[in-house]
Copies of this chain bind each other. A is one copy, B any other.
């Protein structure tokens, strides 16, 4: 199997999302719509150029760099200004707002291990010398888990896993593929496609995120109704901790005590570094049947999705936009009649061998019709399909135009879904009101389970020229509302630094003690990502 490192990957914009060549301004129609909704939002002053940023934290001293160079080779240790700033955080809106500041914190050096042994060697150096280590995959984190937080240590090493890339092994009987953890999702799909297989994990971060990152953050993707959250795809992990290496996932099903593999799904680099990920794959789907539906309102649509999830009719994608999001989507699609504008739209995809995909679609169609759904113009689905990875580029354009834009997500049972949606919406609206910010709150169900669903919110607001602290206040109110209403603090973005203060309310004091006990056992020096998860 190919173990060739995939080194040629494009660095994302240091101060925004994605391929710099694909950055764009705000489309005229969106601009008009925003002015109507939010009023005039004066564009903020442009942020500094990369070269003009002052880094507030020193680079690692020469003796640290020499020790790290001995571990991975001098050409893979970089304490240069640009490399450090390219690893200064993730891609949440607060991260991007921080990239506009004249002075910014950054790790003391970037280290790029080329093999699992290199990772172990770096952790040894870091533990000996008192340096924190922040694992860095695709850099797409949105909950602050890549912040260069040294904890109690002298400095921070950003451990960039890009050289740990490529397909290690493909088992075309068991439908399992093993990848180095730094493999990006597109590189993984390309490697699998060459053998007629697909992973089918398509979060919005797809173009840049890595498989190790998906595992560490418990990612969920747009096709997770059909292929499962990334949690459900992972069948094996190799993890290098400061005090030993784990090789987990011995069988497809086991009762050999607690499933330790699950401990590292959601581990957020806090206990060690995921170096290999084994995943369940499936043959490239023969058929891809995409449909759009409309429902009278969100409650009716949610009821339809619930029935589909509970009967298990087998859609690959099933998502429902609320009335607000539907109206905005339709405004963007631009040419669909007013008749739909008061309802809710859903997008449904069925995949598989042609006969099975058709049978699944037929079963779902029957259920959605019974729930009061009506088939809608295919353009709606095509438009979603076409734009599925574009939202983060649009966010850059919005921020550039002075419009604050951010997303957040939670999940709960079907019976609690309406209450949670109302509570989060109210907390957002109240928070923005307190900040005197006109706003728009959009929501969709992004993922369904037999027992419940996720709610994914997108907010746009006129939060002023410096939205960082106002948003922190709004978000804190939302997190409190989620906890008070029985939701989870994160359905698929993770805990990071941003949600860490709420984790105890999620898992309890005893749960937190379990996390800390394992941290103390595997990482007694406390070097692993000190700012993430446990705060």
Contacts and interface: CB of A to CB of B under 8 A. Distances in A.
A533 B411 CA distance: 34
Contacts of A410: 251
Contact of A411 (B229, B251, B264, B517): B251
Given A174-B451, A280-B450, A515 B253 contact: no
- Copy number in the complex reads 2
A414 B533 CA distance: 36
Contact of A263 (B217, B489, B509, B514): B514
B511 A522 contact: no
Interface string A69-95: 000000000000000000000000000
B488 A251 contact: yes
Interface of A: 171, 173-176, 217-220, 229, 231, 235, 241, 243-248, 250-260, 262-268, 280, 282, 306, 310-314, 352-353, 355-356, 359, 362-363, 366, 410-416, 447, 449-454, 486-495, 499, 503, 506-511, 513-518, 520-522, 533
A252 B533 contact: no
A513 B267 CA distance: 17
A241 B175 CA distance: 40
Nearest to A447: B253
A255 B493 contact: yes
A171 B313 CA distance: 21
A254 B230 CA distance: 11
B220 A253 contact: yes
Contacts of A174: 413-416, 451-452
A529 to B, nearest CB: 12
26 contacts: A174-B414, A175-B450, A175-B451, A218-B255, A220-B255, A241-B510, A243-B513, A250-B506, A251-B410, A251-B487, A251-B488, A252-B450, A252-B452, A255-B488, A256-B495, A256-B507, A257-B507, A258-B264, A259-B265, A262-B262, A312-B352, A355-B363, A355-B366, A359-B362, A510-B522, A514-B521
